[in-house]
Amino acid sequence: MSDAKFLTPEEVSGRYRGEVTVGTLRNWRSMRIGPAYVKIGKAVLYPVDELEAWDRINLVVCRASKGLDVS
């Protein structure tokens, strides 16, 4: 994990355009849900590769509508 890039909770909130607030991230950490994070002392950091994995887990795939050509 030495080359991994990390984001602060504020940066994670910005990544999700404010839809996931710093407070929500704090609550998720206390409930042990949400994206994985690293805690060093008081610093909370989110590895970017873990955020990308969390995005994939939460991806909603919709089926094509009838009559829609998807080729």
Q: Write the pLDDT tens digit of every residue in 1-42.
A: 456 699 999 999 999 999 999 999 999 999 999 999 999 999
Which of left, alpha, beta for 47 (phi over 0: left; psi -120 to 50: alpha)? beta
pTM of the model: 0.81
CA–CA gap between residue 59 and residue 26 (Å, rounded): 22
- Residue 69 carries which side chain, given as an amino acid letter? D
Q: What is the DSSP letter of 59?
A: P
- Position 46 confidence tier, pLDDT thresholds 50, 70, 90: very high
Q: Please, are residues 50 and 37 in contact by the beta-carbon 8 Å criterion?
A: yes
CA–CA gap between residue 18 and residue 39 (Å, rounded): 22
